[in-house]
Amino acid sequence: MNLSTEALFTVALGLQAPWRVERAELSTAKRRIDFDVICTERRMTCSHCATPDQSIHESIQRSWRHLDFFQFEAWLHASVPRVACSACGKTSQVPVPWAREGSGFTLLFEALALSLCKELPVAHAARHLRADAKALWRRIEYYIKVAREQDDMSGVRHIGIDETSLRKGHEYVTVVHDLEQKRLLFATQGRDHKTVEAFTQDLPGHRPCEHGYECGLPQRGSAATAQGGHLLRPLSCGSPGGQGHGRGACGGVQGPSRRCGHCAG
């Protein structure tokens, strides 16, 4: 069976119907290869309400940087359909399988970039990838936000709070670590009480509680907070069922702050 060059590249790029490579253009002078990708469907599912068999209103030209092919910089170009839905009344862009919405990089290129940025300074990774360092920082910030939203701190029992200087000046950041799991939980600029307040505001979003109480640290100024800026006791449980440092309804240590410790133990 004879396969065309376009069909081979369709397979190499991992594309599946209704997407395929229509044309591949190689420039040895620019050391670059460009792939024109097309969608063969005429009616598609609405990405907003998932109603199938909707008409395509228009197509918008998009481009994405992809992993290198044969040491040549590779780019994907496609006219991405926008579906006019008769069910919800919205016109929405069809998601492409090789990239997330709004990104100028394919998912594989983003994965490579993030892997390099874990091992190298971002500026060095950008030079290695022949990409803009600011573009890499935007991807890092995006995935950090996604990871933070998914981070579960319900198992955190003991934390350590400390400060460290940035570079060689008098700029400081405050860091919060899980002392048992040896992992960073939170970091923010500054070293005053506002940094701890910022952590207490961030913490409830990562500590789901079955009792419906706010999960966080003891209130500032309570007997259980800290000495010299460092927390002295486990995160507390303030669910009803006890006084002082007894046991709450969830079985966790109950502190004077009256905050929930189902997720604090």
Question: Model confidence over 211-237: pLDDT tens digits?
Answer: 444 455 544 444 334 444 444 344 544
54-69 and 72-84: which strand pairing? antiparallel
**Residue 193 has what pLDDT?**
86
**Residue 191 has what pLDDT?**
86
The answer to whether residue 61 scores a pLDDT higher than 80 is: yes
**Residue 166 has what pLDDT?**
78
Q: What is the pLDDT of residues 133-153, one digit of tens each?
A: 999 999 999 999 998 888 888
**Residue 204 has what pLDDT?**
77
Check: CB of residue 17 under 8 Å from CB of residue 53: no
The answer to whether residue 263 scores a pLDDT higher than 50 is: no
Q: What is the pLDDT of residues 205-216, one digit of tens each?
A: 776 654 444 455
**Residue 40 has what pLDDT?**
94
Instruction: Copy the structure tokens of residue 59.
Output: 């197509």
User: For a pLDDT cut of 90, what percent of the chain falls above it?
Assistant: 54
Residue 42: closest CA among 57, 63, 21: 57
**Residue 2 has what pLDDT?**
60
The answer to whether residue 248 scores a pLDDT higher than 80 is: no
Q: pLDDT grade, residue 238 (50/70/90)?
A: very low
**Residue 253 has what pLDDT?**
36
**Residue 157 has what pLDDT?**
85
Q: pLDDT grade, residue 200 (50/70/90)?
A: confident
**Residue 103 has what pLDDT?**
92
The answer to whether residue 10 scores a pLDDT higher than 90 is: yes
Torsion-angle region of 224 (φ positive above 0: left; ψ -120 to 50: alpha; else: beta): alpha
**Residue 258 has what pLDDT?**
42
Q: pLDDT grade, residue 171 (50/70/90)?
A: confident
Check: CB of residue 83 under 8 Å from CB of residue 91: yes
Instruction: Copy the structure tokens of residue 99.
Output: 């990239």
Q: What is the pLDDT of residues 15-33, one digit of tens each?
A: 999 999 999 999 999 999 9
**Got the DSSP string for 82-127?**
EEE-TTT--EEEPPPTTS-TT-SB-HHHHHHHHHHHHHS-HHHHHH
SS (H, E, C) 189-244: ECCCHHHHHHHHHHHHHHCCCCCCCCECCCCCCCCCCEECCEECCCCCECCCCCCC
Mean pLDDT to the nearest integer, 102-121: 95
Would you call 138 exposed, middle or buried from its count of C-beta atoms within 10 A (0-12, 13-18, 19+)? middle
Mean pLDDT to the nearest integer, 50-68: 95
Which strand (E) or helix (H) includes residue 38? strand 32-39
Peptide bond into 18 cis (omega under 30): yes
The answer to whether residue 124 scores a pLDDT higher than 80 is: yes
Beta-ladder partners of 36: 23, 77
Check: CB of residue 78 under 8 Å from CB of residue 104: no
**Residue 207 has what pLDDT?**
67
